[in-house]
Structure 1
Amino acid sequence: MGRILAIDYGVKRIGLAVTDEMQMIAFGLVTVPTTEFFTYLSNYTQKEKVDLIVVGEPKQMDNSASESEVHILPFIEKIKEKFPAISIKRHDERFTSKMAFQTMLDSGMKKKQRRNKALIDEISATIILQDYLKTF
């Protein structure tokens, strides 16, 4: 069985989280610049088997699509084009950034560490993946 990879997409950075091989536990992987994502994914999939990519789906409170969908949809199409063997699913990512920041507070991180937006993106991807695994 391969891993499940979760993506918290951003125009500047992409937070990534991944499961263990049994697809039971989610953990933060890395945050990569968006411009380097496809190189990173290519290298990663040469080392690890990935069965599924879960892409965060930002929604407004009324369930309508977020403004960032205009960037995410072409990004997903490019993943499908470059990695046709990997399935892609979407998962609601509302409040993940706030939850990530709260996680950082609860864990006792210093203010300087909490300003690390890359870490927030990675934690957000982990929350997306954990939530997806609950419904899986």
Structure 2
Amino acid sequence: MGRILAIDYGKVRTGIAVTDELQIIASGLTTVDTKQLISFLKDYIKTEFVELFLVGEPKQMNNEASESEALIIPFLEKLQKAIPNIPVKRVDERFTSKMAFQTMIDSGLSKKKRQNKALVDEISATLILQSYLYAQ
């Protein structure tokens, strides 16, 4: 089995989470400058076997695509061209940022650490990945 890599795509930075090889545990991996995302993913798959990319799908409460979807579509096209042999699935990411922030509070992180937006993005990617794993 290969790893599943989840992407919480953002305009400035992107949170990334990954499973273990058995696809049991979801862990935050890192946060990457979005401009460097494709390059990061290409480098990552040189050393780790990834069988699936999960990309968060931001939706509004009425189930319509959110405004940020307009930024994600061009990224998905670039990703498919750059790494065509790894399939991409979309996962509803509603509330992941709020849940990530609450997770930080619940884990006792200081207010200063909770202001780290990169950490919120990484935790959000982990939540996207966990929700996918639970649904399987």
- TM interval, shorter chain, is over 0.9
- The farther-off stretch of 99-108 and 38-47 is 38-47
Shift of 1:5: 0.2
Listed as ranges, the matches of 1:62-73 within 5 Å are: 62-73=62-73
Percent identical: 63
**Residue 53 of structure 2 aligns to which amino acid in structure 1?**
I
Shift of 1:125: 0.1
Shift of 1:52: 0.2
Instruction: Tell me the number of residue pairs that the alignment of Structure 1 and Structure 2 aligns.
Output: 136
Shift of 1:42: 1.0
> Take 2:57 and 2:80, find their aligned partners in 1: how far apart are those partners?
16
Q: TM-score, normalised by structure 1?
A: 0.99
Which SS does the other structure have where 2:62 is aligned? coil
Quote the residue 1:77 is aligned against. Answer: 77
Q: Deviations over 1:66-85 (max 9, x none)?
A: 00011001101111110010
> Take 1:9 and 1:64, find their aligned partners in 2: how far apart are those partners?
18
Structure 2's unaligned 5+ residue stretches are: none
Query: What do you get for the CA RMSD once the two structures are aligned?
Result: 0.5
> Take 1:55 and 1:113, find their aligned partners in 2: how far apart are those partners?
26
> Take 2:41 and 2:129, find their aligned partners in 1: how far apart are those partners?
17
> Take 1:121 and 1:39, find their aligned partners in 2: how far apart are those partners?
19
Shift of 1:24: 1.1
> Take 1:23 and 1:17, find their aligned partners in 2: how far apart are those partners?
12
Q: Deviations over 1:109-132 (max 9, x none)?
A: 001000000000000000000001
> Take 2:49 and 2:77, find their aligned partners in 1: how far apart are those partners?
20
Structure 1's unaligned 5+ residue stretches are: none
Q: Deviations over 1:5-55 (max 9, x none)?
A: 000000000000000000111000000000111111111000001000000
> Take 2:122 and 2:107, find their aligned partners in 1: how far apart are those partners?
15
**Residue 118 of structure 1 aligns to which amino acid in structure 2?**
A
Is 2:51 aligned against 1:58?
Answer: no
Which SS does the other structure have where 1:15 is aligned? strand
Quote the residue 1:12 is aligned against. Answer: 12
Is 2:125 aligned against 1:89?
Answer: no
Q: Deviations over 1:86-128 (max 9, x none)?
A: 0000000000000000000000000100000000000000000
**Residue 45 of structure 2 aligns to which amino acid in structure 1?**
T
**Residue 40 of structure 1 aligns to which amino acid in structure 2?**
F
Q: TM-score, normalised by structure 2?
A: 0.99
